[in-house]
Structure 1
Amino acid sequence: MIEFLATAFFATQPVQPAAAVSPTASRAPSAVVASPKGGETEITSKRMTILRDQSTLMFKEDVRARRESMDLRCDELTAHYAQFNGKYTATRGECVGNVLAVDGERTAQGERADFDVHNRLLVVTGNPEAKDPSADLKGSELRLMLGSQNFEVKDATVTLKSAPLDTKAGPQNTPVVITSKRVSGTRAQAVFSGDVVVKHRTMDLRCDKLTAYYNGTREVTRADCAGNVRAVDGDRRARGERARLNVPTGMLVVTGNPEAEDPMIHFRGTQVRMALGGKSFEGDDATVVFKTAPLKEQEQRRKDTSGGAKKP
């Protein structure tokens, strides 16, 4: 899954630009700005201004910050610093305009980014998007913790690479698209919460909370739903309190007072099983009710043929 290593991306030792510094600027802090893990960050830009009265360093035009494996670019970067025990320490950095962060095979982009040094948190906003070899992600806010494999996204839409579905025609890879109010996760799994909607092949699955699990190649192999589970697959519907989707087999198992129906029957039991793209159900301890709608339709057709029922 998506995971980022966001670093203190503003200057520990700012690179002097070729252009002259504005009259309101003064020399850069002489002490090395502390970073969470030590080391240096190199920042280049067309222009740089140092404002001592505001404790800021401003970089404009073709801004590029490099630290270890991270390469961050934007139109404008403002670094805030403060003095502690005689040393200048970076406290916060703000990127604006065409933000693009690249870390190995992983990328994140948006219109704005804010880095909180103390809390080691990078927040990307302004139609943020992120991707790695296994997933594409969009949302309203992307939060990445420094040195952690975790992430959080608000109003998320995530497209995941799925484990192949086993069919008679051979394995088929179809992405799993999930939307939710919030998602957080690590390399091994992701947790979606709030108005969760899963779209995979012919199935539309909804619930309050979903946990997706990955294999060694970071393909989704299993998804567990909890709370107000509702599944629609063609003309079949199922609902319950819990559900498990096995991606390689395409089998959805619904439990927790499950119910299911299609145009012909409605049944309840202890477990409902339905295969993606199939036509039937399987169930345990089932109570089946055959629907009477077809009989009513036949009666209505008879009335229409005979001119309708007589008025009293």
Structure 2
Amino acid sequence: MIEYLATAFFVTQPVQPTLVASSAETRAPTSAVAAPQGSETEITSKRMTILRDQSTLSFKDEVRVKRDTLDLRCDELTAHYAQLKGKYTATHGECVGNVRAVDGERTAQGERADFDVPNRLLVVTGNPEAQEPSAHLKGSELRLLLGSQNFEVKDATITLKSAPLEAKGSQQDSPVVITSKRVNGTRAQAVFTGDVVVKHRTMDLRCDKLTASYNNAREVTRADCTGNVRAVDGDRRAKGERARLNVPSGTLVVTGNPEAEDPMIHIKGTEVRMTLGGKSFEGKDTTVVFKTAPLKEQQQRKGAPGGAVGNTEQSGGTKQP
């Protein structure tokens, strides 16, 4: 029983004379094809057309590509090849329709994919998504380097597993969701750049660049922000040039001319700390300004006009009273 009607096999040997059709639909023999080894690329489909003058092969219906660690499937594939030193080799392939790729523990899907064969690079577009053991990736373009943990995403939304929280009784299943213009990732960390937004538990954190670090279980343990840091956690706000989020402890430390405020106070200093979901601040070298009630409200309280109370300052404090 023939499972596929057309098979192309790029190897390190010259192509056999039976694969010489100029522009005709060609059917493969009924014999099985050996599994790809090393630098070999195997492509199977229901139909195949060889365009010798254009150095391309066209595959349609149930297309499947196997190359090293990659198993790639789609509806249609245009494969480009070149002859080097008397031997034929695949250079790149363009997949269209229901793209599904598996590379080790990673999977990806989208509507289109471009496979750079020599560089082992798969670029997926058309509402692409990818899944890793510890992350879900979405964006306008996914770039996966085969056989590694490296990835790059444009207009990215990344959902990462967070390390377990240290506080007892805290909700442990709290993923870290990060969006940005671009992200580059390895097995140890991911670097986000351009309009970075982090949502974790009760916090919304924004900055220009963020580096997320993983532990051996590929869980996020720390996030380091730089440039125009702005954080909102409930009715508390903080800003500065740098910030570090310790995921297990839920502590955000803002530095670089940091400022923070809640409905009662405004803080300036060299460092401001806040715990996610908490109510207070901690600071170093701080100047604390206590906010006053609106003038009309104060006049009502005092029963006389002009009874406004000036701001009160407290310098050098480390904690909110």
Name the TM-score class by shorter chain.
Answer: 0.7 to 0.9
Query: 1:92-107 maps to which residues of 2 (within 5 A)?
Result: 92-107=92-107
**8 Å contact kept, 1:163–1:173:** no
Residues 72-121 of structure 1, C-alpha deviations (whole Å, 9 max, x = no match): 11001110112233222322111100000012321001100001234442
Equivalent in the alignment of 1:155: 155
Following superposition, the deviation at residue 137 of structure 1 comes to 0.5
**8 Å contact kept, 2:103–2:146:** no
Q: Does 1:172 align with 2:172?
A: yes
Equivalent in the alignment of 2:34: none
CA distance in 1, matches of 2:109, 2:271: 44
CA distance in 1, matches of 2:179, 2:132: 18
Structure 2 alignment gaps of length 5 or more: 1-7, 12-19, 28-36, 305-321
Q: Does 1:60 align with 2:52?
A: no
**8 Å contact kept, 2:260–2:266:** yes
**8 Å contact kept, 1:272–1:284:** yes
Following superposition, the deviation at residue 65 of structure 1 comes to 1.6
Distance change in 2, residues 1:105/1:150 (3 Å):
closer
CA distance in 2, matches of 1:133, 1:148: 13
Equivalent in the alignment of 2:70: 70
Q: 2:10 aligns with which of 12, 22, 34?
A: 12
CA distance in 2, matches of 1:295, 1:122: 60
**8 Å contact kept, 1:83–1:89:** yes
CA distance in 1, matches of 2:168, 2:178: 27
Q: Does 1:244 align with 2:244?
A: yes
Amino acid at match of 1:24: S
**8 Å contact kept, 1:166–1:172:** no
**8 Å contact kept, 1:25–1:52:** no
Following superposition, the deviation at residue 296 of structure 1 comes to 2.1
Equivalent in the alignment of 1:31: none
CA distance in 2, matches of 1:291, 1:11: 75
Distance change in 2, residues 1:51/1:280 (3 Å):
same
Distance change in 2, residues 1:103/1:148 (3 Å):
closer
**8 Å contact kept, 1:143–1:152:** yes
CA distance in 2, matches of 1:200, 1:231: 11
Distance change in 2, residues 1:300/1:43 (3 Å):
farther
Residues 249-305 of structure 1, C-alpha deviations (whole Å, 9 max, x = no match): 00000001100000110010010000000001000111001112x1425147579x9
Q: TM-score, normalised by structure 2?
A: 0.81
Equivalent in the alignment of 1:279: 279
Q: Does 1:181 align with 2:181?
A: yes
Query: 1:129-278 maps to which residues of 2 (within 5 A)?
Result: 129-169=129-169, 172-278=172-278
**8 Å contact kept, 2:225–2:244:** yes
Following superposition, the deviation at residue 26 of structure 1 comes to 8.1
Larger RCO, structures 1/2 (Cα 8 Å, 6+ apart):
1
Structure 1 alignment gaps of length 5 or more: 1-9, 14-20, 29-36, 307-312
What SS does the aligned partner of 1:112 have? strand
Amino acid at match of 2:297: Q
**8 Å contact kept, 1:74–1:98:** yes
CA distance in 2, matches of 1:61, 1:125: 20
Distance change in 2, residues 1:11/1:255 (3 Å):
farther
Residues 138-195 of structure 1, C-alpha deviations (whole Å, 9 max, x = no match): 0001112344432111000000000112223156120000000000010000000000
CA distance in 1, matches of 2:220, 2:246: 9
> What is the number of residues matched between the two proteins?
280
**8 Å contact kept, 1:261–1:267:** yes
Residues 37-85 of structure 1, C-alpha deviations (whole Å, 9 max, x = no match): 9443322211111111111111100111223442211001110112233
CA distance in 1, matches of 2:62, 2:182: 33
**8 Å contact kept, 1:164–1:171:** no
Residues 208-238 of structure 1, C-alpha deviations (whole Å, 9 max, x = no match): 0000000011000000000100000000000
**8 Å contact kept, 1:269–1:286:** yes
CA distance in 1, matches of 2:103, 2:38: 18
Query: 1:73-88 maps to which residues of 2 (within 5 A)?
Result: 73-88=73-88
What SS does the aligned partner of 1:298 have? helix
